[in-house]
Amino acid sequence: MTPCGRVGEGRKHPLEAGAGNLSKLRVSQGYVANKWRRRATEADVNDRNTIIRVKNCSKVFGRRAQQALEMRRSGRNKAEVERDTGATIGVFDANLDVRRGEIFVIIGLSGSGKSTLLRLINRLIEPTEGEIYLDGDHVSKMPIKQLRELRRRKMGMVFQHFGLLPNRSVLGNAAFGLEIQGAPFSERRRAGEEALEMVGLHGQGNKLPAELSGGMQQRVGLARALATKQEILLMDEPFSALDPLIRRDMQNLFLDIQGEVQRTVVFVTHDLDEALRLGHRVAIMKDGEIVQLGTPEHILREPANEYVERFVEDVDYAKVRTAESVMIPADDVAYPNEGPTVVLRRMRQAGLDFIPVVDDERYFIGMCEVEEVARLAERNERELKGAMDTMTPRVERHTWLREILPLFVEQDVPVAVVDGEDGRLEGLVVHGSLIAGLTTSAELSNGGRTTSFHGGHPEGATLRGSDASRATGEEG
């Protein structure tokens, strides 16, 4: 049998995992001045989970901005507008809500407007039109002093090259953001060390950046962003300078840390695998416009148009889908003290080659193969235990398919999907469902039972029938 073990790391959606962490991170909102602070209207914030709202935002670079927008609205494309007016449309009529604690990814080709959109959020770039709200506060109308305070306390930005200070120690770099925030020395030191530990650089604090490898330096940069405890992180292609292996490490590290600290992250990338891997939701941009916004699964299943379809056609499903998206419900289970004859009968009736064994509380114990059960039945054994393989692999909902694939190489035994915390059986990945998940976005049929795909992302549960089509139609 395949060696036992838990495969992959869990990945929880913030709304699923203890939202309590957020309150710890919530920084002082003392920068708020009432004069300009307009409590948003019902349309602005009707959802407590919305932390950033971008409303009808456009940014035109160049003089004839209004004319350019009018032309664009009348149906002319970005290139035509640019040719006729000399103005460049950076972002056109963007609308999006970022939910508290989610990783929101913006993806698109070079020049599609990703960085511009990101910079509109913290007003490094002023919108030509439209509004941006942060927790209901009107960022686009904020006086500059408060805006600076907001950037310092609440909303950090991480660029492609983390920009370490070469003459400062690793710890000094990790704590640099806090220094800018004016935190006292002791706090800087503590938070800096804590952050270094999080990124696996414990004990390296006294070194200079140049004494570390490229990947380690990148981790110092991540530590710096984490140490500040800003509630929102805007990240512009933070991993793009890394080679693919280190990049994957950083993505995993980032997901791990994010699972613990749950910042709200707006993450820009032009790498589709990265987007689908990291994002709870993804916005795809083209020529300054958001052409589709939804969960990774939604985008893969229902590309909004031909452009998105082409954009996602080469995606490697093994890297971006999780156990959850291919698991089937474990409706038939057996208990260890049941008689083999009874279980055999059930298995034959349902046409099962394998049956998972669970205890009274549905904790997964092992897997039984029909032939083993038959052997015990023949010998008139009383209990099923003798047929049970307890070394069978188990994974979590959020385990990537690429980690599950090798488990099927040597044998064709269903893989148990268990609850990360206590090992309760949640479903099974069977060979057929896995293959379907790697090759198609269509529905998956299993011996008369139909399980719909649902991304390893936000609202979580495996759904069936009409629930599923509603859920995957989810947009955001």
Count of residues in the chain: 476
Give the nearer residue to ligand ATP in terms of CB position, either 108 or 205: 108
Given its phi and psi angles, is residue 392 left (phi above 0), alpha (psi -120 to 50 degrees) or beta?
beta
Q: Which of Mg ion, ligand ATP, none does residue 50 bind (CB under 5 to 8 Å by kind)?
A: none
Structure-block tokens of residue 191 = 């938070």
Q: Which of Mg ion, ligand ATP, none does residue 457 bind (CB under 5 to 8 Å by kind)?
A: none
Question: Shortest approach of Mg ion to residue 160 CB, angstroms?
Answer: 8
Q: Which of ligand ATP, Mg ion, none does residue 61 bind (CB under 5 to 8 Å by kind)?
A: ligand ATP
Question: Shortest approach of ligand ATP to residue 238 CB, angstroms?
Answer: 13
Contact pattern from residue 108 through residue 127 relative to Mg ion, giving x for each residue in contact according to CB under 5 A and a dash for the rest: -------x------------
* 88 binds ligand ATP, rule: CB under 6 A: yes
Give the nearer residue to ligand ATP in terms of CB position, either 116 or 204: 116
Dist CA 288 CA 62 (whole Å): 15
Question: Shortest approach of ligand ATP to residue 83 CB, angstroms?
Answer: 13
Question: Shortest approach of ligand ATP to residue 208 CB, angstroms?
Answer: 30
> What sections of 293-430 are H helices per DSSP?
296-301, 306-312, 317-320, 323-326, 340-350, 370-378, 401-404
Considering only CA atoms, which of 229, 231, 278, 225 is closest in space to residue 251? Answer: 278
Dist CA 231 CA 246 (whole Å): 26
Whose CB is nearest to Mg ion?
115
Dist CA 32 CA 115 (whole Å): 27
Neighbours of 43 (CB within 10 A): 8
Q: 24 — phi, psi (to 5°)?
A: -65, -35
Q: Which amino acid is at 127?
A: P
Give the nearer residue to ligand ATP in terms of CB position, either 79 or 350: 79
Q: Which of ligand ATP, Mg ion, none does residue 116 bind (CB under 5 to 8 Å by kind)?
A: ligand ATP
Q: 240 — phi, psi (to 5°)?
A: -70, -20
Question: Shortest approach of ligand ATP to residue 251 CB, angstroms?
Answer: 18
Give the nearer residue to ligand ATP in terms of CB position, either 69 or 347: 69
Question: Shortest approach of ligand ATP to residue 289 CB, angstroms?
Answer: 11
317, 107 contact by CB (below 8 A): no
Strand, coil or helix: 308: helix
Residues 50-79 that bind ligand ATP (CB under 6 A): 61
Give the nearer residue to Mg ion in terms of CB position, either 40 or 265: 265
Contact pattern from residue 90 through residue 119 relative to ligand ATP, giving x for each residue in contact according to CB under 6 A and a dash for the rest: x-----------------x-xxxxxxx---
Given its phi and psi angles, is residue 229 left (phi above 0), alpha (psi -120 to 50 degrees) or beta?
left
What is residue 408's DSSP assignment?
G
Give the nearer residue to ligand ATP in terms of CB position, either 101 or 108: 108
Q: Which of Mg ion, ligand ATP, none does residue 462 bind (CB under 5 to 8 Å by kind)?
A: none
Q: What is the DSSP string of 55-81?
A: EEEEEEESS-HHHHHHHHHTT--HHHH
Residues that bind ligand ATP (CB under 6 A): 61, 88, 90, 108, 110-116, 270
Residues that bind Mg ion (CB under 5 A): 115
